[in-house]
Amino acid sequence: MGLRVQAWICGLILAGVGTYAYYALTGPSGFAALRQQRKTIEQLRQDNEELRAEIERRRKRNEDLRKNRDTLDLYLRQEYNLMRPGEKKFKYPDSVAPPASPVDPAGRH
């Protein structure tokens, strides 16, 4: 083979390797995709940690409800709007807050 043919073959090989490297780095499984996958994994780990903390909070709350009768009573009364005989409950509409005390523009009460 002549020197020119070898140079062409070398050039084609280098161009092929360069093209492969470009697509390997920038393609669907390249560095950008790898970076995105790592971000996704980190976000999922953070979500898992938050969910574990929520599970632990709920586990402690359930344990407290099982052990403390007064806490259970209060929870049930609030959650299901239960009342004891003879109790009166005042309920405000959700869109209307109780009236606030008037404020004097001069700063006096």
Spatial neighbors of 71 by CB under 8 A, at least 6 apart, are 64, 65
Three-state SS at 21: helix
Q: What is the pLDDT of residues 11-37, one digit of tens each?
A: 999 999 998 888 878 877 788 888 899
**Single pTM value for the model:** 0.51
pLDDT in tens, 42-53: 999 999 999 999
Q: Cα-Cα-Cα-Cα dihedral of 49, 51, 57, 61, to 10°?
A: -160
- Six-digit token string for 37: 């996958």
Q: Which value, in Å, is the radius of gyration of the alpha carbons in the chain?
A: 35
Q: Judge contact between 50 and 56, C-beta under 8 A.
A: no
